[in-house]
Amino acid sequence: MSSDIRVRFAPSPTGYLHIGGARTALFNWLFARHHGGKFVLRIEDTDRTRNTEEAMAAIYEGLRWLGLDWDEGPHVGGDFGPYLQSERTELYERYLKQLQNGGHIFEDQGAMRFRSPRERVVVDDLVCGKIDFDLSNEETHPDMTIRRSDGSWIFHFVNVIDDLEMKISHVIRGEDHLSNTPKHIEIFRALGVEPPHYAHIPLILNHDGTKMSKRDEGARVEYYIRRGYLPAAVRNYLCLLGWSPKDNREKIDIDEIIRLFDLKNVGRSSATFDPAKLHWLNGEYARELSDSDFHDLAVKELRASGIKIDNYSDEYVRAALQTCKGKINIFDELPAYCGFYFNDNFDYNPEGVAKHFTSENKPRLQAIRDALSTLETFDAAEIESTFKATATNLGVKVGALVHPTRLATTGSNAGPSLYHLLEVLGKEKVLARIGRALTKF
């Protein structure tokens, strides 16, 4: 039976790839991979006025970034194409004719409408359970239009025909489509065929209980690509929005998720999107990156931010970035975290200036500069020993030297390990930066 499993993701290219749509695609992909079935990508581009090539490209890019490869669809092909609805008009005409011949269609001011049989429809949903829809009242359930007077097709009709023709076995989609399902079942019945199995997954909500809208930051997959999130982390987090492995784990390898994924473990309650948890989870994935992968992603981010890293040796850049590994959660945090390595004329943090550039600290900073200037070996171990010895000589804690030195050499109150970052900067640069800072007191 596993080879008969066929699911689809059918977005409309009218905007960007929404995070909710990405989660729907992911659940379909997981279901297909778990059962050894097929994941089909179908583009529902019947809205001629709103469809754009840019939106279609964003769908492809977002799915590929998340690692959701499709078995059939655009750029891949398959036995049930074409996979753009705009190229399937002849097929829709044929099924419309079949419904007309069966007495299920009537014309209304140039539009074609489906004549409802006025009955109760029970949807046996794999997530929501059995739901009885009463479609007998014409006022609450009017006969639906399936083709407009201008010849364009309505979603309900072409969606059903494509699912039928592409032999879709399971329709896994957002709960907001649940009310459409009895209408679709009516069309399947009128055509004399069994509908697919339905599974409506819970909506994704903001913390305040509102549905994620286009205006919400983080509603589009492009946002995560741009900010330097790791696709494996975003994919992992999306898995947990409505589905659970039942053991409270949050970081799970994708191969294990595929092995465990079951619609029985999809909850009924709406899923709350927690940006802070995703931020944390991304940090967990970032800390596991190989040195090489971290370096490549970091270089890409720094270049995109406008930092001129190509003005520095590869050895210097690698050493600088190594001090940042494990210290950031997402890559767009990197320019602010380590930009000081590549800029001698940075500004000083105002709070840091008020706290650490004091008359009391000026002689301390001068003392550590003098001590560092005598070092022949300028590495982290020697630098640390020098700080401790100088602190002892001055009768202060090491922190009294560390904090003003960090501010003087980086402009910030926080960042990589001080002794290691000073080693990377090198003796000449460190002495020059401390000297510059001393003029600010």
- Which residues are catalytic, by number? 214
Measured distance CA(104)–CA(82) in Å, rounded: 27
How far does CA 75 lie from the centroid of its chain? 22
Q: Are 118 and 138 in contact (CB under 8 A)?
A: yes
* DSSP 8-state assignment for residue 167: T
In sequence order, the β-bridge partners of residue 198 are 171
Measured distance CA(132)–CA(336) in Å, rounded: 56
Closest CA to 326 of 339, 338, 312, 342: 338
Burial class (CB within 10 angstroms; exposed 0-12, middle 13-18, buried 19+) of 135: middle
Q: Are 332 and 279 in contact (CB under 8 A)?
A: no
Measured distance CA(354)–CA(356) in Å, rounded: 6
Quick one: tokens of 379?
Answer: 């590495």
**Helices 362-373 and 380-394: crossing angle, nearest 10°?**
140
How far does CA 72 lie from the centroid of its chain? 23
Q: How far is CA 35 from CA 38, 238, 303, 350, in A?
A: 9, 20, 42, 58
Quick one: tokens of 186?
Answer: 């009516």
Polymer length of the chain: 441
**Helices 231-239 and 19-35: crossing angle, nearest 10°?**
80
In sequence order, the β-bridge partners of residue 197 are 170
**Matching residue, tokens 């014409």:** 138
Q: How far is CA 233 from CA 95, 257, 306, 370, in A?
A: 43, 13, 26, 46
Q: Are 416 and 324 in contact (CB under 8 A)?
A: yes
**DSSP states of 81-118 as a string?**
---BGGG-HHHHHHHHHHHHHTT-EEEETTEEEE----
Instruction: Provide CB contacts within 8 A for 25, sequence distance 6+.
Output: 9, 11, 63, 66, 68
Measured distance CA(285)–CA(277) in Å, rounded: 13
Q: Are 415 and 337 in contact (CB under 8 A)?
A: yes
